[in-house]
Amino acid sequence: MCKKIIFILFLLSNTLSIGQKLSEKATISILNCGTGNESYSLYGHTGIRINDPLQGIDIVFNYGAFDFETPNFMLKFVKGDLQYFVTTNYFADFEYNYQYEQRDIFEQELNLTLIQKEKLYSQLVQSLNSDEKFYTYKFIDRNCTTMVIDKVNSILGYNYITTQKPVTISYREILYPYLENHFFEKLGINIIFGTKVDQPAERLFLPLELIESLKNTEIKGNSLVKPVKTIYKAPENNFKPNPLNSIFTLIIGLALVILFRKKWLTQIYFAVTGVLGVFFCLVGLYSQHEEVLWNYNVFLFNPIYLLLMYFYWKKNRKGIIKTGQILIFCLLGYVVYMLNKIHLLIVLPIIIANFILVSSLVLKHKKQVIISHQ
């Protein structure tokens, strides 16, 4: 969601202008940038621009940077205690970067008093030059957008910037369209996320949603922001997704497993499915990301598939039948639970494949048991 930055570009040069008092000509605005096609840019970006022509200040504060060279980077990322930090760069560099990536830049100037601007600027500088610079990232609750919202709301003395009530859409439903041309990313995100993302989206957490919310935010009858200014409008996106990154690739792969019906291939499929189930269970216990807790997709990617694989390898008919029946029961329960979920269609091929493989295996060995008793 937030732009991943390994090094703090331009930080030393920016310190020359940071910390000065603002003049009456100073403006503070929220910048929201459009989405891109890379994993880090799929959800856009939010920053705060401080512009004071009299003081020669025109910088952008960005939340959401992290260092790939952090020890145990992947473990910390999965656990949810990876430290993100705030950076700054000149607005000209910020603008050039997003133009280069062909991503929209929208600016909404805040209608703040000079005292409020000074206070907000002071807090931003403090967060850059103290321990506040680092924070623990959370996909929904603490990202580049929510950090900006919290900073501005703290100056206003109330949570004026928030979602429009009543909330009628879930976090998952908001996220779903962002991955339209990235099927396997969409599949991966939707199967690793649990019940939290199915809750009503009470938290405003994405840049493009923030733009709309700011348009409707008023304080004592006065608009919080001036009309949206388009700093850069990207050309029409001619992105062509990888043809292999589609649901048809998944369907073809699953069809091959079903049609070939080779024992070794089926065992590999059960192993992969079961290992994913174990991962979902363990990450729910290990990770501090609330989004991955209580993941009901474990009934689709079930650890019991590992047991079924073992019984299949050992030719244990009774074990195959019993574990198979349990898995079918779990699948049926999963389907019922998923009937009102937006991601049902993208996991449907897996549901069908699992049902065909398991049920055919159970029926086959039931017949063998019956024949052996005749």
CB count, 10 Å around CB of 138?
17
Per the structure block, which two tokens stand in for 177? Answer: 């369209």
The confidence score (pLDDT) of residue 119 equals: 95
DSSP 60-78: EEEEEE--TTSTTHHHHHH
The confidence score (pLDDT) of residue 8 equals: 38
The confidence score (pLDDT) of residue 3 equals: 43
The confidence score (pLDDT) of residue 343 equals: 96
Question: Are the beta carbons of 46 and 144 closer than 8 angstroms?
Answer: yes
The confidence score (pLDDT) of residue 9 equals: 40
DSSP 226-256: PPPEEEE-PPP------TTSSHHHHHHHHHH
The answer to pTM > 0.75 is yes
CB count, 10 Å around CB of 224?
21
Residue 111's Cβ-side half-sphere holds a number of Cα atoms within 13 Å equal to: 14
Question: Are the beta carbons of 344 and 334 closer than 8 angstroms?
Answer: no
CA distance 269 to 357: 10
Q: What is the dihedral of CA 185, 279, 144, 167, to 10 degrees?
A: 80
The confidence score (pLDDT) of residue 19 equals: 59
The DSSP output letter for 163 is: P
CB count, 10 Å around CB of 245?
16
- How do the pLDDT tens digits run along the chain, 374 residues long? 544 443 334 343 344 356 568 999 999 999 999 998 887 788 999 999 999 999 999 999 999 777 777 777 767 777 777 888 899 999 999 999 999 999 999 999 999 999 999 999 999 999 888 888 888 888 899 999 999 999 999 999 999 999 988 899 999 999 999 988 899 999 999 999 999 999 999 999 999 999 999 999 999 999 999 999 999 999 987 778 788 999 999 999 999 999 998 999 999 999 999 999 999 999 888 888 889 999 999 999 999 999 999 999 999 999 999 999 999 999 999 999 999 999 999 999 999 999 999 999 999 988 887 777 65
The confidence score (pLDDT) of residue 37 equals: 83
The confidence score (pLDDT) of residue 14 equals: 41
- Provide CB contacts within 8 A for 357, sequence distance 6+: 257, 258, 266, 269, 270
Q: Where are the alpha helices (DSSP H) in the chain?
A: 11-14, 73-79, 91-100, 114-128, 144-156, 171-175, 183-192, 207-215, 247-260, 263-286, 304-314, 317-338, 344-372
The confidence score (pLDDT) of residue 288 equals: 81
CA distance 240 to 246: 12
The confidence score (pLDDT) of residue 284 equals: 81
Q: How far is CA 123 from the centre of its chain?
A: 27
Phi-psi region of 64 (alpha: psi -120 to 50; beta: other; left: phi over 0): left
The confidence score (pLDDT) of residue 49 equals: 97
Task: Tell me yes or no: is domain 11-163+203-232 CATH 3.90.1720.
Answer: yes
Q: Is the dihedral of CA 197, 132, 223, 212 positive or negative?
A: negative
Question: Are the beta carbons of 191 and 296 closer than 8 angstroms?
Answer: no
Reduce the DSSP state of residue 110 to 3 states and report it.
strand
- Residues 225-269 pLDDT 10s: 999 999 999 998 777 878 899 999 999 999 999 999 899 999 999
The confidence score (pLDDT) of residue 269 equals: 97
DSSP 282-327: HHHHH---GGGSS-GGGGTS-THHHHHHHHHHHT-HHHHHHHHHHH
